[in-house]
Amino acid sequence: MNRKALFLLALSLAVGALAGAGVTRWILPPKELGPKTLTRQNPPERHVLYWRNPMNPSLHSDHPMKDNMGMDYIPVYAKPAESLKNAISVDPRIRQTLGIKVVPAVNRTFSRTIRTAATVAIDRRRSRSVTTRFQGWIRSLSVLAPGDTIRKGDLLARVYSPTLASSEKDALIALDAARSDPGSKDNRALWEASRERLRLLGVPDPEIDRLEKTGQARSVLPVYAPYSGIVISIGARVGDEVSPGKPLMVLTDLSRVWVDVAFYSNQMAWVKPGDPVTLRLPDTPGRVYRGHLHFVDPSLNRKSRTIRARVPVANPDGFLKPGMYLEATMHPDPRPDVLVVPREALIRTGTKTVVITEIGHGYFRPVGVTPGVRSDHWVAILSGLHEGDRVVVSGQFLLDAESQFENVSARMEKGSRP
């Protein structure tokens, strides 16, 4: 091999080595990168749904602004894509056709007015039974029907009683003995004991004075009213037997009555003893009575499904009669700072209660909530929502049905895969 061939071979090897090094440098990455070669990825840009007032979250704006105190409105961003699970999308044109209306959940002072039915009843603490303390039979009755007004001292009945006639005769014997020997203390004490025995049998003092003056016992004695009132019931008629254990009649004082107010179970969260109540007669608008809840029945009436509460009411002119119907109105104490939504936002599925919330970009999603006390237009939310969450109050049933349909379809598709 000559010198020229060796030179060309060496040159070819050098060129090949340089070419191989260049290709390797161009194709393969460096073994180690310095910190300056890393590129920092910017976080994904969040989309602003609206701006809300910093002091009143229910006030929204579609652009940045300041409130009347100079504070910047706070941006509310769209939730990440993961929050779209179980959500449905509604085209704006369809939304307008469905009449979907959205309002925010707000904290507010929660109050309500309760209107219910009430019935006048007897104040049983003012009812008394009229009984005789001796056995006998009724000869005549001065009171013929319930509802009669009785004054203290009025004649109620005349009763034939052999037992009482015998006691009067014994008293006359003691009286004769005392008169025959006025100086005898024993005879005088016997007469006083006889008088006291007649009083214990219920004989009034005028009858005892008559017996002492006339000296004649009688077997038919009058029964007088021991107090005033209205006759509620008559327990015996002419010819019937009377005894200490059998009431002759029942009287009650209607100058003060009870009013039984009927509450349903969903109203009981607002009711407590001591609450003021206003009572009106439906047919007599000028009649207004006021009182306070004195007692709340611990049991539920199985027939009416109501709970009875008692209101003592003054009835000085006796206008209120047992059995009258009244309209009761209550304004319970308001509850401050309660998260509420309109009652029409609730959807009861049988096993739970949900609301449809708007999560932005035309997406809606059902959310389970725990409702609390209710008023005529609002319901308190104990859990499931936050202040400012936007809930659907019109068209929510169509959205709920669509959401359930999509969930079922998704489960069917998932189950059909191998």
Residue 343 pLDDT exceeds 50: yes
- For the chain, the farthest-separated pair of C-alpha atoms sits apart, in whole angstroms, at 191
pLDDT tens digit sequence for 356-400: 888 877 788 888 999 988 887 889 999 999 999 999 888 766 666
Token pair for residue 114? Answer: 């309760």
pLDDT (mean) for 401-413: 48
Range of weakest confidence among 64-78, 194-208, 329-343: 64-78
**Percentage above 90 pLDDT, the chain:** 22
Q: Give the mean pLDDT of the chain.
A: 80
| Residue 31: band (very low, low, confident or very high) from pLDDT cuts 50, 70, 90 | very low
Residue 35 pLDDT exceeds 60: no
Q: What is the pTM of this model?
A: 0.58
pLDDT (mean) for 47-63: 77
Residue 327 pLDDT exceeds 60: yes
Question: Can you give the three-state secondary structure of 77-93, one letter per residue?
Answer: ECCCHHHHCCCEECCHH
Does 319 or 1 have the greater pLDDT score? 319
Range of weakest confidence among 73-87, 227-241, 279-293: 73-87
Token pair for residue 415? Answer: 């189950």
Residue 29 pLDDT exceeds 70: no
What pLDDT does 95 receive? 74
Domains of the chain, each with CATH number or no CATH:
47-77 (no CATH), 88-110+335-413 (2.40.420.20), 115-123+253-330 (2.40.30.170), 131-251 (2.40.50.100)
Token pair for residue 23? Answer: 């290709």
pLDDT (mean) for 157-175: 88
What pLDDT does 14 receive? 57
| Residue 17: band (very low, low, confident or very high) from pLDDT cuts 50, 70, 90 | low
Judged by DSSP in three states, 32 sits in: coil
DSSP string across 84-143: GTT-EE--HHHHHHHT-EEEE-EEEEE---EEEEEEEE--GGGEEEE--SS-EEEEEES-
What pLDDT does 265 receive? 86
Q: Give how far Cα 77 sits from Cα of 47, 49, 389, 409, Å.
A: 5, 5, 12, 30
Residues 293 and 114: their CA atoms lie apart, in Å, by 13
What pLDDT does 15 receive? 53
What pLDDT does 13 receive? 58
What pLDDT does 246 receive? 86
pLDDT (mean) for 266-277: 89
| Residue 325: band (very low, low, confident or very high) from pLDDT cuts 50, 70, 90 | very high
Residue 206 pLDDT exceeds 60: yes
Whether 310 and 293 have beta carbons less than 8 Å apart is answered as yes
Does 61 or 12 have the greater pLDDT score? 61
How many CA within 13 A on the CB side of residue 72? 4
What pLDDT does 44 receive? 46
Residues 131 and 150: their CA atoms lie apart, in Å, by 15
Residue 97 pLDDT exceeds 60: yes
**Percentage above 70 pLDDT, the chain:** 80
